[in-house]
Every structure is written in C-alpha cells, then in structure tokens.
Structure 1
Amino acid sequence: MTTAPDRLLRRLEWKLGRRLDGRLQGSYRTVWHGAGFDFTDLRAYTPEDDVRHIDWNVTARLDEPFVRQYTEDREMTSWLVIDRSASMRFGGGAGKESTAASLAVAIARLISQGGNRVGAILFDNQTHKIIPPRTGRDQILRITRDLTSSVTKKSDKTTDLAEMLRLAATTTARRRSLVFVMSDFIGEPGWDRPLAQLTHRHEVVVIRVVDPSELELPDLGLILVEDAETGEQLLVDTSDPLLRARLTEQVGAREDELADGMRRAGVDAHRITTDQDMLATLVDMVRRSGRRRR
C-alpha cells in the first residue's frame, strides 16, 4: 500500500515528466548554479558581473574592481529552507503550507536529477528539523514525508524569521550551496540582515508564498478573524469601506517594507499565490532567473 507522501511524489513526477521535460532541460544548472564553486582566477569587473563576486581585498590594492572566477563542481548541493509556522497554514484551496510543500518537492525532484544532493531545513515557532543533503529518490521521498507530516501546535508569538535564516547559515556553512528559502515572511522584523549574510555565502532563491486574501480582503460581511501566529481573535465587518481602505493601505505599506528588506538583502523574491498553477510558476521562476543573469 502506497503512503500519502509516495502518492504526492508520484503525482509530481508524472506532472514534471509531462510538462517540464525539455522545457527546463539543464536550466537548473545554468540558472541556479551556485553550489560547489572552486576559485580559479581573477579578472577585471564588467557591468554584467554579479557584485557578490567582487574580491574587495584585490580591488582595494589595485584601485580597480576585480571579480573572482570559479569553476563549478559537477555535483550540486541544494537546501530547501521552509517556514512551517502557523501563518503558513492559512489560505484557501491548497493553502500556503501545501503550496510550499508541493513546490519544494518539485524543485527537489528537478535538482536531484543527475545525482545532485538535496537537503532540507523545516522551521516553525517551536521546533526545527534538519534533513542532511543526499542523493536519490529515497531522499526526495523522505523530504516529502516530513513536509506532509503534522506540525506542532500554535505558539503565542510570531515567527522569528531571523532565527530561521541564522539556522540556515549555520547548517549550510561547510560548503557553498544553492539555497531555496520558502516563507510568507510574516514574522518578527530584522530578517533582512541574516538573509543578506546567507546570500553572501550562497546562491539564494527566495520564494514568498501568499494567499490572495492577504493582498485583497474579500467582502464576506461580518466574520471572525484569527491571527494565525498568536491565536488572537477579532470580529470584523469586511463590508465596511473604511476598514477595507485601511487594510488596503496597510497591505501596500507591508509590500513596500518587504520589497525594501529584499533589496537590503540583495535578493529578488519570487512571489507565488496559492491559486497559481504550481508547475507553471516553476517554469516562469526559472526563466525570470535566467533573464536576470543574462
């Protein structure tokens, strides 16, 4: 008898085979190639270069910017850093947690082709789990099993995203890797600095998972709403135009704040919503990354 994780992996493998084979052939190597770099040489900086590869010591000595050149190892090590806090369980349809899990498994399956290693860090308010990187389908199945397992009860505090990112930096410190960070980025402020430190060491792909109702409040009349992180409840009238205007203003301010934080960290976040086609999103994400590198 097959288990739920095995069924999920088989379903995603079938979809990947039908819709991604040929369309992303080799793209994860040329677009997401941040793992296993060996330093080989220095050369003068050009405007197309990634500023993270500037050798500042050499630049200061010669008074001219120089970048490090690397040779990529044949084996890639990748990490999935996944926020499993209470706010990720919110959402209509599949919900944010399920959307992140499905996308994470699809990415792991894609990256694992060719013998590349994949590991995972699963984080919530109270606990975390580290799955060391390994190769093979059994590893992907293990990640799938842990992603679809139940999580701990709600905490009385918001998510410490900075702690999640510091944990990721500590866990992945041994070797330069390709790191996917998946979160709704609902939590305590101050996550931009540890994210910047993570991007200084690794190739980082940030995926922000959002439910459409978090961007635009649906008109449902009088409803009871609950803070997914703290459990605090409040009765609100979603038809009230003043309330809707205030929420729209707050959403705009929050989006601006998140964008500023991502800029300070030096990353471009991919925003996906729970009502999007997951595999179409994956294709678009790879193509967007490729255009930025060119």
Structure 2
Amino acid sequence: MRRRGLPEAERTPERPGPGPVPDAVLRSLDLAVMRRIQSLVPGDHLTPQVGTGTELALIRPYQPGDDVRYIDWNVTARLREPHVRVHVGERAITTWLMLDVSPSMNFGTALRRKADVAEGVSVAVGHVATRRGNRLGVIAFGGSEPRVLRPRQGRLGLLALLAELRAAPPADARRPR
C-alpha cells in the first residue's frame, strides 16, 4: 500500500509533516456540492442550467435562434419537424482552501504541531479538489496580510501550490515590528 505525504528528506524532528495517508482513504473522499455552480469552465459537475454537457436533458421542437449543431436528425426524420437536443450543463468547481499560517499553528504535542495536521488536511482536500478537472486556490491568513494563491488544476497545480506555501517565510517573520 503506497502512502502519500511529504518526502522523507523534507521531514525533520521539528517538522514531522502530516503523516502518511493511505491511498484508499483519499479515493473514498469526495466533495459535495451544496450550491448552484456559477462557473463558466466546463467540468464533471451537473448544474441546473442547460448547457454543453454530455447528459441529455430533453428533446424539444426547434426554435429560431437554436444552434443547428444540436438538431437531432433521427427525431426530426421521424416527426418531420426539426427537434433539438438540450443537454444538462456540466461545470468545474473551484475550491478555496482557507489556511491559518499564524505563529499559533506551531503549537502542538510532542508528535505533531497544529501546522502538521493542517498540512495533512490541506493535502487531502487538495487531492480531492483537483480531481476530474477541478481547481484549488488557497487563501493563507495569519501574517501581516492574507496571501491569495490563484486556483490551479490537477496534481501538478496542487504540487505548485504546496511548493509556493512552503517557500513563504514564516508568519512571524512577515509581521511588521
């Protein structure tokens, strides 16, 4: 069983990392969409609007202004009147992760700091959020001013976000004196 987490070379006794997360656990997680998706980017999540998805919503008579590419020629031939296919819209989700990077995140037990646990949760949420063409953005707060890391897509985007977060100076170093 392969486990995900930080590479061993980056872990130190002061920074043990989030700990390993089994692949089976990550595969069992999924994001639940609780509101209507407003995105214009096509993706896997169904929306109540009609659009250019793969799932058929209905077939209706052609109306002036309809795109001729969506004419269903089989139904048109059977009924001898033009009909168009209307599909359910599918959109991509942009997930925003709010991450506390304040000095209080250095507190913890002998085994893990709060920052290590937050890092593990961030990796798991990022893994789930960047599946199927969705995007993940990060807002890191707790320093002198919040940092907004633009949403990125896929595994490489997630790794780039994590690298950008690790490259940032500690929150207490950014505070004005």
Normalised-by-shorter TM-score class: 0.5 to 0.7
Counterpart AA for 2:163: R
Q: How does 1:39-54 map to 2 (within 5 A)?
A: 40=49
Q: Distance in 2 between matches of 1:79 and 1:136?
A: 14
Q: Which runs of 5 or more residues in structure 1 are unaligned?
A: 41-70, 158-294
Residue 49 of structure 1: aligned partner: none
Q: How does 1:5-24 map to 2 (within 5 A)?
A: 7=7, 15-21=21-27, 23-24=28-29
2:118 pairs, out of 100, 104, 109, with: 100
If each structure's strand is expressed as a fraction of its own residues, which one has the higher value?
Answer: 2
Q: Distance in 1 between matches of 2:34 and 2:23?
A: 22
1:140 pairs, out of 158, 168, 171, with: 158
Larger radius of gyration: 2
Question: How far 1:147 moved relative to its partner?
Answer: 3.3
Residue 149 of structure 2: aligned partner: 131
Residue 36 of structure 1: aligned partner: 37
Secondary structure of 1:148's counterpart equals: helix
Q: Distance in 1 between matches of 2:145 and 2:176?
A: 14
Q: Cα distance 1:122–1:99, how it changes in 2: closer, same or farther (>3 A)? A: same
Residue 115 of structure 1: aligned partner: 133
| Percent of pairs with identical residues | 24
CA RMSD of aligned residues (A): 3.3
Q: Distance in 2 between matches of 1:138 and 1:116?
A: 12
Q: Distance in 2 between matches of 1:124 and 1:146?
A: 16
Residue 83 of structure 1: aligned partner: 100
CA deviation map 1:206-264 (0-9, x unaligned): xxxxxxxxxxxxxxxxxxxxxxxxxxxxxxxxxxxxxxxxxxxxxxxxxxxxxxxxxxx
Residue 201 of structure 1: aligned partner: none
Residue 181 of structure 1: aligned partner: none
**TM-score of the two chains, using structure 1 as the length reference:** 0.33
Instruction: Report if aligned partners of 1:33, 1:72 keep a CA contact under 8 Å in 2.
Output: no
Q: Distance in 1 between matches of 2:99 and 2:35?
A: 19
Residue 292 of structure 1: aligned partner: none
Secondary structure of 1:133's counterpart equals: strand
Secondary structure of 1:97's counterpart equals: helix
Q: How does 1:197-216 map to 2 (within 5 A)?
A: none
Question: How far 1:6 moved relative to its partner?
Answer: 6.1
Counterpart AA for 1:104: S
Residue 55 of structure 1: aligned partner: none
Q: Distance in 2 between matches of 1:89 and 1:73?
A: 41
If each structure's helix is expressed as a fraction of its own residues, which one has the higher value?
Answer: 1
Question: How far 1:144 moved relative to its partner?
Answer: 1.5
Instruction: Report if aligned partners of 1:101, 1:144 keep a CA contact under 8 Å in 2.
Output: no
Q: Distance in 2 between matches of 1:128 and 1:134?
A: 18
Secondary structure of 1:121's counterpart equals: strand
CA deviation map 1:9-31 (0-9, x unaligned): xx98x83523332x33xx41xx2
